[in-house]
Amino acid sequence: MTTALTHSPVWQELLGHDDTEHAGALLGADPGRVERYCLHHEDLRVDLSRHPVTDSTWERLLRLAEERGVPGRIEALFSGASVNESEGRPALHTALRSRPDASIHVDGEDVIPAVYEELQRMAAFVEALRSGDVRGYDGRPLRHVVNIGIGGSEAGVTMAHQALADGDEPLRLHTVSGVDGRELAAVWGRIDPAETLFCVASKSFSTLETLTNARTAWAWLEAEAGRPVPEQFVGISANESAMADFGIPAERRFRIWEWVGGRYSLPSTMGLPLAAVIGMERFNELRRGMRAMDEHFRSAPAAQNIPLLLGLLGVWQISLRGATGHVVLPYHPGLRRLPAYLQQLDMESLGKSVTRDGQPVDYPTGTSCWGEVGINGQHSFFQWLHQGTGRVIAEFLVPVEEGGLPERHAGLNLASALGQVQALCQGQAPQGSGPEAEHHRYEGGRPVTLILFRRLDAYTLGRLLALHEHRVFVQASLWGINPFDQWGVELGKRVAKGLAPVARGEAPPPAEADAATRQALRWAGCWGAGESSDGTGV
Ligand SMILES: O=P(O)(O)OC[C@H]1O[C@](O)(CO)[C@@H](O)[C@@H]1O
């Protein structure tokens, strides 16, 4: 039985114990605070000193982790227990980047050999692709990879490609997600069909957007070549038979498993389009970084365990102190898709209102997660962060080695980030008094997490991604919710399916369509043309 957080005696203790102070004051009063509240993983430095947490709260939070059984949940996650209860399966993304000599059993079978067999098939294909041995229908080597996928079958590849590719690679990546055909049409203009590999990436191989785009791409290539060209298609899925039915040749089908959540799938064959561009070596560096963070999470003592402490702080800020969001602020243009990537991880995983065994929760769980490259955010929503009435956790991610920037630009990112962090925390009283002066008041005390790292490379990106996966897992464990299902996305998809024939003008609205939907479709000209509305419009 999963109990609600509010049943926890330590949580009740925390609720009754408010010794929080302005974090700026805490920093000023305690010279050892920064050192005590800074955590390290190799060259990664996570500074939590600007959260208003005191030592006694910290001690209670560590007890809360014990009381909520977090250490046991961590072991269950890594050992392949059925931690995704509502879907009756494990969540083994850590197996995708484990050592080849590890062994993790699911239903009595070690999954690691199959993981490595598939990664080796992928490596051989990537190698052949990059060396020009995979050729298009007219014999020329392939130079373009179009990833057709959405959500977890797209976000990781796009985000990591932007972070890690330098533009000199032998292959170009293009991504197509949307269902209206515009992205595909734009891609047509940038590729040569005879030089293009299409990767159809879909765990289920049944997603409307992906399958629609894949069929259009197939037909387009067939029209260009004058024959079907299955050898220029790759499938990545847990649904082998659907890939076969689509027409993807057996040697071009790459497998993932039901126990890999889409948003956790980047280190699997889902990463093939990324590996095709950046190479297997760097892809494996990303996996190695993830594994390093996995090992830290599994073995570091609680008081130094970065994902554990970030998860505890997140729950404390959200459920007890009323934070309503998590804003992700990378100070590197290559990380511009990181907020969107973490948004899916955070909000699909933590957007739940019932405990793992279906009991309603009576406390806030996951919040909104959003963000932007920090330097751009400064000129847009930072006003709200500094002087608005809302409270969110602001997470700054800053590489400190900039690598050969022109002198004029050197140091500006770091100074900007540190300046904002200090201002958000310390605030500033206005000069003078009266209503005029109040416009210049900065309260400070905004909760800030500052993550510094040496440079953005595949290994560090891997560590950052796994850090957040595990932070989310800790929050879910404390709240007693399942971070591995996403039932909330199903209803909208089902209703939309019923409306597609109406939107195409092929059928009247189904009985399930409510009055507002019917009216919207009528207004859009999809049905009822020439019929006079009776006032209710339905
Ligand atoms: O990989 P698939 O099965 O195409 O699903 C794509 C995405 O759609 C979702 O199911 C949400 O609709 C995500 O969880 C998933 O990452």
Q: Does 532 score more than 60 pLDDT?
A: no
Within 351-429, residue ranges assigned H as helices are 374-377, 382-387, 412-426
Answer whether 203 contacts ligand 1 (Cβ < 6 A). Answer: yes
Kindly compute the dihedral angle of the four CA atoms of residues 479, 4, 353, 256, in this order, to the nearest 10 degrees. Answer: 50
| Residues β-bridged to residue 105 | 110
pLDDT score of 404: 81
Give the lowest-confidence range in 314-323, 465-474, 513-522, 527-536.
527-536
pLDDT in tens, 173-223: 999 999 999 999 999 999 999 999 999 999 999 999 999 999 999 999 999
pLDDT score of 70: 98
Fold type of domain 93-283: Rossmann fold (3.40.50)
Q: Which atom of ligand 1 is found nearest the CA of 149?
A: 4
Ligand 1 center to 164 CA (angstroms): 24
**Is the full-model pTM beyond 0.95?**
yes
Cβ(361)–Cβ(403) below 8 Å: no
Q: Percent of the chain having pLDDT more than 90? A: 95
- Which has more confidence, 224 or 538? 224
Q: How far apart are the first and last CA of the chain?
A: 47
Q: Percent of the chain having pLDDT more than 70? A: 98
Ligand 1 center to 399 CA (angstroms): 31
Catalytic residue, from 40, 493, 497, 512: name it: 493
CA nearest neighbour of 318 among 357, 356, 352, 342: 352
Phi, psi (degrees; rounded to nearest 5) at 329: -130, 80
pLDDT in tens, 485-507: 999 999 999 999 999 999 999 99
Domain ranges of the chain: 26-67+300-401+412-429+437-485, 93-283, 493-528
| Residues β-bridged to residue 369 | 326
Nearest CA owner, ligand 1 atom 9: 151
Taking the mean position of all CA atoms in its chain, how far away is CA 438? 39
For the question of residue 258 being annotated catalytic, the response is no
Q: Does 20 score more than 90 pLDDT?
A: no
Q: Does 255 score more than 50 pLDDT?
A: yes
For the question of residue 493 being annotated catalytic, the response is yes
Using CA of residue 184, residue 188, residue 191, residue 196, what is the dihedral sign?
Answer: positive
Take residue 265 and report the two structure tokens written for it: 């799938």
CA nearest neighbour of 48 among 402, 339, 308: 308
pLDDT score of 488: 98
Give the separation between CA 265 and CA 154, rounded to whole angstroms.
10
CA nearest neighbour of 453 among 398, 413, 373: 398
Give the separation between CA 38 and CA 450, rounded to whole angstroms.
9
pLDDT score of 531: 64
Give the separation between CA 204 and CA 437, rounded to whole angstroms.
58
Ligand 1 center to 161 CA (angstroms): 20
CA nearest neighbour of 449 among 335, 298, 309: 309
| Interhelix angle 55-67/458-479, nearest 10 degrees | 80
Answer whether 150 contacts ligand 1 (Cβ < 6 A). Answer: yes
Cβ(374)–Cβ(417) below 8 Å: yes
Answer whether 255 contacts ligand 1 (Cβ < 6 A). Answer: no
Other beta carbons within 10 Å of 206? 11
Give the pairing of strands 233-237 and 325-330.
unpaired
Answer whether 196 contacts ligand 1 (Cβ < 6 A). Answer: no
Give the separation between CA 128 and CA 316, rounded to whole angstroms.
50
- How far is CA 325 from each of CA 15, 72, 124, rounded to the nearest angstrom? 20, 28, 43
Ligand 1 center to 488 CA (angstroms): 12
Ligand 1 center to 507 CA (angstroms): 28
pLDDT in tens, 89-148: 999 999 999 999 999 999 999 999 999 999 999 999 999 999 999 999 999 999 999 999
Give the separation between CA 44 and CA 59, rounded to whole angstroms.
24
**Identity of residue 436:** E
Averaged pLDDT of the chain = 96
Complete DSSP assignment for 248-283: --GGGEEE--TTS-GGG-TTTGGGHHHHHHH-HHHH
CA nearest neighbour of 265 among 384, 157, 367: 157
Cβ(11)–Cβ(412) below 8 Å: no
pLDDT score of 533: 52
Helix (H), strand (E) at residue 73:
helix 70-79
Q: Which atom of ligand 1 is found nearest the CA of 348?
A: 14
**Identity of residue 170:** P
Mutate which of 84, 93, 148, 150 for ligand 1 pocket (most atoms within 8 A of beta carbon)? 150
Catalytic residue, from 118, 195, 285, 348: name it: 348
pLDDT in tens, 381-407: 999 999 999 999 999 999 999 888 899
Mutate which of 177, 246, 347, 489 for ligand 1 pocket (most atoms within 8 A of beta carbon)? 489
Give the pairing of strands 38-41 and 44-47.
antiparallel
pLDDT in tens, 132-163: 999 999 999 999 999 999 999 999 999 999 99
Give the separation between CA 34 and CA 42, rounded to whole angstroms.
18
Q: Report the phi/psi class of residue 355: left, alpha or beta, with left for phi > 0 and alpha for psi in -120 to 50.
A: beta
**Identity of residue 12:** Q
Phi, psi (degrees; rounded to nearest 5) at 399: -80, 140
Take residue 338 and report the two structure tokens written for it: 């990181």
CA nearest neighbour of 419 among 393, 402, 435, 442: 442
Take residue 176 and report the two structure tokens written for it: 């197509």
CA nearest neighbour of 161 among 114, 191, 199, 213: 199
- Outline where DSSP puts E strands in 298-426: 325-330, 368-371, 393-399
Mutate which of 486, 487, 491, 497 for ligand 1 pocket (most atoms within 8 A of beta carbon)? 486
What single-letter DSSP state applies at residue 173? E
CA nearest neighbour of 372 among 400, 332, 420: 332
pLDDT score of 21: 86
Ligand 1 center to 150 CA (angstroms): 7
Give the separation between CA 265 and CA 152, rounded to whole angstroms.
7
pLDDT in tens, 334-360: 999 999 999 999 999 999 999 999 999
**CATH class of domain segment(s) 26-67+300-401+412-429+437-485:** alpha beta
Answer whether 152 contacts ligand 1 (Cβ < 6 A). Answer: yes
Q: Does 306 score more than 90 pLDDT?
A: yes
Catalytic residue, from 35, 379, 436, 490: name it: 379
Q: Which atom of ligand 1 is found nearest the CA of 204?
A: 3
For the question of residue 379 being annotated catalytic, the response is yes
Other beta carbons within 10 Å of 60? 19
pLDDT in tens, 414-424: 999 999 999 99
Ligand 1 center to 152 CA (angstroms): 6
Q: Does 30 score more than 60 pLDDT?
A: yes
Contact residues for 505 (Cβ-Cβ < 8 A; gap 6+): 526, 527
Q: Does 1 score more than 90 pLDDT?
A: no
Give the pairing of strands 144-148 and 393-399.
unpaired
- Model confidence at 538, pLDDT cuts 50, 70, 90, reads very low
CA nearest neighbour of 40 among 329, 301, 273: 301
